[in-house]
Amino acid sequence: MSIESKKKVKVRCYRFISVLDKMIAFDLLKTVTAVLSVLVIIIVSRKFIKVLAQAIEGNISNEIILSLLGLKIVIAVGAFLPAAIFMSILMVLGRMYRDQEMSAVASAGGGVFVIYRAVFLLIIPLSIIAAALSLQAVPWAETKIIELMHEDQKQADIKGIAAGRFSEYSQGELVFYTEDIVENQRMKNVFVHNRMSGRASIVNADYGKIEHLPGGLYLVLEQGERIQGQAGEKDFIIEEFEQYAVRLEKKETQLKEEREGMPSALLWSSDKLLDIAEIQTRLSIPLAVIFLSFLAVPLAKISPRGGVYGSLIVAFAIYFVYGNLKRVSHSWVVNEVIPVSAGYYGVYFLLMLLAGALLLRLYGVKWILMQFKGREVA
């Protein structure tokens, strides 16, 4: 092989990704980022308002608010990535049709295969990211939210304690007061009034700390005195102690595992219908990225007078039907109406049929064969 032929081979390999491919992929990446950011902000903001309302009511602590926000963003990105990509392709290609850029591409010999190649140059990496999000990141985020809420619920009673303020437990049967709280939530000069045992008792202690022990939540007191008796009677019991524990509430918190947070590996090996439906739901995210992108290319071809958003109304209707068909398919799999092997795949088969019908209507059979087989039209 001569030096000139070697140079030609190198040039051809380098130009496999053309300037048009880079332009469309770059515009598409910018639009996907913008659309996804808007969708995530809208959805997460609504959910974050509920989180703030719970924090104001004292149901969750302020320390975990930002962590919950970050985890909900991860979940929202995984859920709305297919919709953002679908809308972005329609917007980018629709603008190119409106500005007659597609006419220039067609006059230079670029057909539907060239557009698909440019689009899927970005869609293939995004589908891999979508698979990683739906199979790994989103279940991890769901599990992390449950763990954070569980740990916060365990510490909820401790966080409600403040120095110089009376705190009530067990419907007011137990009241205690602390003068100061130092490091590690250790309390100084603690006063306790307890009526839980039927006879009133007053406890004074130098130190105290709330701990979760077997059986519930306890106030552990150190170096104090306990006086027990009934007002108006003379049989009082006075005793001193080095350590004394008072149960505040019999409260047991259990960590509930949700199916949405189960690792994908466990779902793969399970034979339960709910687990199979869940893993199909997770797989539907990367599949939606691929099939909706395939549909969006012919759907984006609009009249020059149609504007950038000329086909978005139709696209919204298609996506609405697609989302409802997904939910119906999930219900059918769980209720054994359709075979498990069918699952969501019938939905994507319909998307392929719709995309094929649009390609045939817009370009014609002969023109499509020319693009894919490289033959001239007779």
Taking alpha carbons only, the member of 8, 114, 1 closest to residue 374 is: 114
Worst-scoring range by mean pLDDT, 53-57, 220-224, 233-237, 300-304?
300-304
Distance, in Å, from the CA atom of 78 to the CA atom of 104, rounded to the nearest integer, reads 36
| pLDDT tens per residue across span 140-194 | 998 888 888 777 666 555 555 666 777 776 666 777 788 887 777 778 888 887 7
CA distance 356 to 298: 9
Look at residue 10 in the predicted model and tell me its pLDDT.
46
Which bin fits 374, alpha (ψ -120 to 50), beta or left (φ > 0)?
left
User: What is the residue extent of each domain of the chain?
Assistant: 3-154+257-373, 161-249
Is pTM beyond 0.75 here? no
Q: How far apart are the first and last CA of the chain?
A: 36
Mean pLDDT of 284-312: 77
Tokens (6 digits) for 347: 């939905």
**What's the pLDDT band for 131 if we cut at 50, 70, 90?**
very high
Which amino acid does the sequence have at 362?
L
For tokens 């001239």, the residue is 376
Is residue 357 very low, low, confident or very high in pLDDT (cuts 50, 70, 90)? confident
Is residue 234 predicted with pLDDT exceeding 80?
A: no
Percent residues over pLDDT 90 in the chain: 14
Higher pLDDT, 321 or 11: 321
C-alpha angle 274-276-282 in degrees, rounded to nearest 5: 105
Q: Bigger pLDDT: 200 or 38?
A: 38
Tell me what pLDDT residue 137 has. Answer: 92
Mean pLDDT for 52-64 is 70
pLDDT given for residue 151 in this prediction: 72
Q: Specify the pLDDT at position 133.
A: 92
pLDDT on residue 219: 77
Is the pLDDT confidence value at 292 over 60? yes
Given a contact cutoff of 8 angstroms between Cβ atoms, the answer to whether 315 and 87 are in contact is yes
Tell which residue, 279, 344, 343, has the closest CA to residue 136: 279
At residue 316 the predicted structure's pLDDT band, cuts being 50, 70 and 90, is: confident
DSSP codes joined into one string, 131-169: HHIIIIIHHHHHHHHHHHHHHHHHTHHHHT--TTS-EEE
Q: Which residue has the higher pLDDT, 185 or 115?
A: 115
* pLDDT averaged over every residue in the chain: 77
